[in-house]
Structures are given as C-alpha cells and as structure tokens.
Amino acid sequence: MGAILQIKPVSDVPAHRRASAEPRDPAFFQNPYTFYDQLHASEPTFFWDQYGHWCFAGFKDVSALLRDKRFGREILHVATREELGMPEPKAHTAAFDLTEKHSLLNLEPPAHTRLRTLVNRAFVSRHVEQLRPRIVKLANEMIDRFEGEDSVDLIKAFAAPIPAIIIAEMIGLPADSASDLLAWSNRMVAMYMFGVSKETELDADQASQAFMDFVGEAIKERRKQPREDLLSHMLTSDRGGDVLSDEEVMSTAILLLNAGHEATVHTTGNGVKSILESGIDPVTLFATPEQTEATVEECLRFDAPLHMFTRYALSDLEYGGINLRKGDVVGLMLGAANRDPARFANANSFDPFRTDGANISFGAGIHFCIGAPLARIELQVAFSELFKRLPKLRLAEEPRYNDVYHFHGLQRLTVSWR
C-alpha cells in the first residue's frame, strides 16, 4: 500500500536521525514493536536507511500528515517522471498497474472526490448495519464447519472467508467465488513486500489479469442486466452526464474486494491472538455491545493490520524541521503511532478497558478507510460469536506473521478449544 519508493541516499542526515531495520528479517517482522520502542525512546521522526526515506512514528505526526494536503498518494498529476527521475512502468506488471490506475487508494482530488462520492453511500454506517444479521449467520456457519475438530487454522477457516464473502456479495459477485478472490488478492499483496522479486511481480501480474478477467465478465453481465448490487450501481450511476468507465469500475471493484477483506482478516487473527495471550476472560470483553466495540478498537490499536502508509510531498516543503523536495516519499507508521507512549498510557499493554483507546488503523483525512464501518461490524460479530461458541479457545501453537511488513498479519493461527 505504498507509493513507488525512491531510495535516495541522504548524506547530510545526522547519525542520530537515522535508523536501520531490515523489513524482510524475521526477527523484525515477527515483532516490529521492539524497533518502535527504540524509536519512541529516541527519535520517532527518522530516516529509515533500508527504505531510503523519512518516516514518522509518533501518533501526533502520523495523524497530522494523513490530513496534510501538501502530501498525496499520487505524484504524477503534478510532476512528470522525467522531473522526478522516476523509472518507466515495468512491462511485466502492466496488468497489476492497470488495477491500480483508477484506485481510490491512490487518487487525489478531484478524481478521488468523484469516485469516493459515488461509492461512499454503500458503506455508510446505517447501510452496513443492515448486514449484521447476515454476518452473524455467516460466522456461525464457519464455526459449525470446524467445531467438531480438535484444532483448526482460524485464519483459513474463519478470519478469511467471512469478510471475503460479505464484500463479494455487496459488490454482486457469487459467494462461492470468495476462495478465488482471496487467492488473487494474496498474490497481488505480495507486491508490497520490501525488495520484491521479478518472480513475485510476474505472479502478481498474472493474478491481476485473472482478477480483471473475472470482474470484466461480471461487468458485461451487469451492463446487459443490472441488479441491486454495488457493481450495477457503479455502472448505472449518472451524475449530470458523468459516468464511470469500465476501467474505473473494475479498479474500484478490485480495490474494494482486496481492501474489503485484507485488513479485517489480519485484525481478526491478530485480535484473537492478543485476547488469548492477554489472559483476560473473554466473557468480560464481549459482555455488552459497548464493551465489544471497545475490545475491537483495542485490537485495532494494539496489533494493527497495516503498519506503514506512504505519501508523496506534492511540492518543495518543510515539515518538522525536515526539508522535503517535490516527489519525496514519507512513511507514516500506523502500527508505531498506535503504540506511542506519548499518546497512550501503558502503550504496550493490551487493555480493552482503557479510556484513551483511539487508534489510527483506518487512516485519516480524505483517504480514511471507506470500509471502516463494515470492518468494525464484521470484527464485533466475529469476535463475539467465536468466543461465545468456543469459550475455552486457546492457542495450539505459536502464531507466526507473514513476511509482508506493511500488511501485518498471521500466516496461521492454530487454536483448539477442548
């Protein structure tokens, strides 16, 4: 979920403002919080040597920069590749690049405003709240399938299917396509690994093409016969003669399918792990709707699903004493900001009863996660139904995180309950 990272050696950055951590080192991505603790204790605004750009780990700065309109998710609307020294797109990632061409995640106004306005109404709280009974039913169906076993990988059997099926149904795709959507999405997300290989790029591109072919067929069908779904809404919406192209609809559908499950899957897995390792009686965590909401917010804060978002400086500017040039990348470290001791009491403690439980996991500003209301309901239901049905749930083996630093989620979460 990052901008194109341009590694620019900065010789004049003093040693005390630089930090080093290898994103692909298991010791790091299994527990980045040790690194964050060092940053908070010394210099939370720092130049990350491996990435080659400035990063911000403090809650106040991350929150402010997400809202600062001098920074943006794209840069080529205000500068040329030649001006920035940016390489040309790679031919072998053309399909992947096409899926991102009209992505809400990367657009800036006015293009972003136009697309977001069109899609937003499907995700407002009053609308997604109507999905709660369906999510409850789906969660219990998933538990029914493995309750008779001795143990299960909760990511594969529970955390992943629920949000994938819900977002597919919202868009208007069959629920039984969710496994394919998950597989394509996981292959595409590998593009955000640090130091991604050409082999991974080729695989992500193939997945992107398969994803586009699938959504493209659905678009053709809806053009002929619209239904009561989000895909039809995007295709038929006409605001004063302004209609979306097939490419725009495809990019938006793929973004919603990917983003509509990725962070929720990780938060479910990370949250169950946090709850089980805390030793707190789950009954107390989901005793009331209000406490359920607070527990979900603490799960989002304590072990966030997304750890770094990047922005481009849209002009030459100064921020916090740092001089940035137009096109420079900055890293906004959501996972670190959520553990900032200057913002949270006992920041490294999992405390679902805390009274300072804000978090920045859904971002802020114009790119605040459009699916946040849906994700919150999915998490509230998933956690409460899971622990209601399986109150003796416990870890059956040590959980391990994926080697994708930006997306902080578990490979497996093997649990038992007998």
Q: Which of 98-107, 316-325, 333-342 has the lowest mean pLDDT?
A: 98-107
Helix, strand, coil tally for the chain in percent (to 5): 55, 10, 35
Report, in angstroms and rounded to the nearest whole number, the Rg of the chain calculated over CA atoms: 21
Backbone φ and ψ of 330, nearest 5°: -125, 145
Half-sphere CA count of 123, side-chain side, radius 13 A: 21
pLDDT at 374: 92
Specify the residue for token string 């908070």.
40
pLDDT at 111: 87
pLDDT at 11: 57
Per DSSP bridges, beta strands 322-324 and 309-313 are unpaired
Q: Which of 6-15, 113-122, 401-410 has the lowest mean pLDDT?
A: 6-15
Q: Could you tell me the fold of the domain covering 15-416?
A: Cytochrome p450 (1.10.630)
Q: What is the pLDDT of residues 31-77, one digit of tens each?
A: 999 999 999 999 999 999 999 999 999 999 999 999 999 999 999 99
Sequence spans of domains, the chain? 15-416
What residues pair up with 312 in beta bridges, in sequence order?
Answer: 72, 329
Q: Which of 116-125, 220-229, 395-404 has the lowest mean pLDDT?
A: 116-125
Q: Which residue has the higher pLDDT, 357 or 376?
A: 376
1 to each of 100, 244, 250, 259, 262, how far by Cα in Å?
11, 24, 18, 10, 11
pLDDT at 22: 95
pLDDT at 387: 97
1 pLDDT tier (thresholds 50, 70, 90): very low
Distance (Å, whole) CA 107 – CA 92? 23
SS3 assignment, position 261: helix
Which residues 6+ apart lie within 8 Å of 152 measured at CB? 146, 158, 414, 415
Q: What is the pLDDT of residues 132-160, one digit of tens each?
A: 999 999 999 999 999 999 999 999 999 99
Task: Map 103-124 to HEC letters.
Answer: CCCCCCCCHHHHHHHHHHHHHC
pLDDT at 2: 40
Q: Which residue has the higher pLDDT, 41 or 182?
A: 41
